[in-house]
Structure 1
Amino acid sequence: MAELFINQAKQYSTGRPTYPEEVFQFIASKTPCHDLAWDVGTGSGQAARSLAGMYKNVVATDTSPKQLQFAVKLPNITYHCTPSKMSIAELEQNITAESSVDLVTVATAIHWFDLPTFYQQVKWILKKPNGVIAAWSYTLPEINRNIDNLIRKTYFVDALPFNQPQSKLIMEDNYRTIDFPFEPVDGLENTGPFEFKMEKVMDLDGYFTLIKSWSPYQTAKDKGVDLLNEDLVKDFTHAWMEDGKQEKIATFPIYMRIGKVGN
């Protein structure tokens, strides 16, 4: 997974939206204790930063050292660059001991993971009972019909030859079909997906930065194809400036799976 985002690490840290506080309040309300959280695939630490305000300590890991260069530094966040596959011994060395984590989070990343291996790690490291795992991601931004039609064509048609099949789990299925072998947390009848919304004020340059943070954008670029070619930039610019406003509110749907381990 890491190699898909290495070359656009800076765009990722600046172009991606910030998850709303509502998401973390929802998650924190489902964990009986708030001592330790493990944020997996932390990237530039967007989720870890919010978790640090609700949990005493956060361990945030990623396989990309370049992504971690852009991560926010806070006294109760410990960052580790880890291998893509860790043994239980490495897990204990890099993260913490068995049955000692209150919460595992994965923001916009779980669809890239080797899920059977990762879930073994999650079940080993979470407190029993009632340790919680929450995994979520957002889909394409929504602004208005003309802009939205353009970005959907860009992603689902132009970028299709350069996309990874794992992306379908979120971009088309909204995490409905992803394997998620956990029990519903207290107060919920199932593990989701649960839907949230987040908003980001964007200008056109920021919108293009978001597109450049996509993994298929970088894959296409590596193959000599610019998804944001001159004609498409003109189309986006025309659609963007139809209302005369430089800045717009982009709404991103978020889909979350959340569950707990048993005894």
Structure 2
Amino acid sequence: MDTTKKFTGKADIYSKYRPRYPKEYINYLVSYNNLTSNNTVADIGSGTGILTEQLLDKGLKVIAVEPNDDMRSIAEKRLKNHPKFVSIKGIAENTGLRSKSVDLITVAQAFHWFDKVKFKNECIRILKPNLNVALVWNIRDSSSQMILENAEICKNLCPSFNDFSGGIEETPEEFEQFFRDGKYEYCTFQNDLEYNLDDFLGRNLSASYAPKSTDSNYKEFIKELTELFMKYSKGNKIILPNVTRSYIGKV
């Protein structure tokens, strides 16, 4: 299946329910890369523009590269008034950007969809010399019993489920192969998320593997998630243990 189509029909729910990145991470990203208002960031696989917007709010020029029309359209509507926002239809492996034109490449929740070798070559082409690529994920904390039970529901009812975020955190060799000489800085930021029932369901339904309302397993998926919410919620709220994982290095 063409991975660029994975979120077709899910852009609205993705935009509404996917979490932002913690301020501590954004500040770290800007500081680590010595970014100023004169710098240009290429946000690759930018989706509905969640990270894009947070970078724009730091005064940076951000070129958002996204192949999925549904996702890109939402970002364009939300961010059209930002003077430093540029939207491009392109893929990670062939962005269409000029060679040696950007000061940082960011990839949020998307690296696991890319052809890693081709994307690395594209990063080398479009980055100015000796600058960084930053990969980041908001990932559920798998040490939580509630998260483990959430994963079990997905395993049972979502045929294409392969762990949250594609299990990317369990494959360190992918990062070693991607970054130059296998060297990168790894940091984590606690980013627990408080949800009511609608938010909790929406967050789960925003995943690429989650059933759509027309699928036969949709009602059972909602039923079991609702039962999980009721089991762990207090005062009609649930805390979803979440960690923001950051990988930054040269390629």
The two structures have a TM-score, normalised by structure 2, of: 0.83
Match of 1:193 among 160, 166, 186: 186
Q: Secondary structure at the match of 2:63?
A: strand
- Out of 206, 213, 220, the residue aligned to residue 213 of structure 1 is 206
CA contact (8 A) 1:40 1:104 kept: yes
Cα pair distance change 1:192/1:209, threshold 3 Å: same
| Paired residues of 2:14 and 2:206 also in contact (CA < 8 A) | yes
Q: Distance in 1 between matches of 2:207 and 2:219?
A: 11
Offset, 1:104: 0.1
Instruction: Give the Cα–Cα distance (whole angstroms) in 1 for the partners of residues 219 and 247 of structure 2.
Output: 31
- Residue 123 of structure 2: aligned partner: 122
How far residue 33 of structure 1 moved from its aligned partner, in angstroms, is 4.4
Tell me which amino acid in the other structure corresponds to 1:255: R
State the superposition RMSD in angstroms.
2.9
* Helix, strand or coil at the partner of 2:210: helix
Asked whether the 8 Å contact 2:65–2:91 carries over to 1, the reply is no
| Identity fraction in percent | 21
Tell me the number of residue pairs that the alignment of Structure 1 and Structure 2 aligns: 242
Shift of 1:246: 1.4
Task: Give the whole-Å Cα distance in 1 for the aligned partners of 2:144 and 2:20.
Answer: 21
Q: Report if aligned partners of 1:154, 1:227 keep a CA contact under 8 Å in 2.
A: no
Question: Could you tell me how far 1:136 is from its partner in structure 2?
Answer: 1.2
The structural deviation recorded for 1:138 is 2.1
Question: Unmatched 5+ residue regions in structure 1?
Answer: none
SS in 1 for 2:136: strand
- Give the Cα separation in 1 of the matches to 2:64 and 2:47: 9
Note if contact 1:158-1:227 (Cα within 8 Å) is conserved in structure 2: no
**CA positional deviation for 1:137:** 1.1
Quote the offset at 1:100 in angstroms. Answer: 2.2
Q: 1:222 to 1:63 in 2, by over 3 A?
A: farther
CA 1:234–1:254: 2 relative to 1, 3 Å: closer
Letter of the structure 1 residue corresponding to residue 86 of structure 2: T
CA distance change for structure 1 residues 234 and 126 in 2, over 3 Å: closer, same or farther? closer
Question: Is this contact kept in 2: 1:194–1:256, CA < 8 A?
Answer: yes
TM-score by length of 1: 0.80
Residue 30 (structure 1) shift: 2.1
- Which fold has the larger relative contact order, with Cα–Cα distance below 8 Å and residues 6 or more apart in sequence? 1
Kept in 1: contact 2:109–2:165 (CA 8 A):
no
2:52/2:64 contact within 8 Å kept: yes
Q: Does 2:113 match 1:82?
A: no
Residue 83 to residue 222, structure 1, CA distance change in 2 (3 Å)? farther
CA contact (8 A) 1:169 1:178 kept: no
Q: CA deviation at 1:207?
A: 0.3
Q: Distance in 1 between matches of 2:213 and 2:186?
A: 33
Distance 1:202 1:209 in 2: 10
| Structure 2 residues without counterparts, runs of 5 or longer | none
The separation in 1 between residues aligned to 2:45 and 2:139, in whole angstroms, is 18
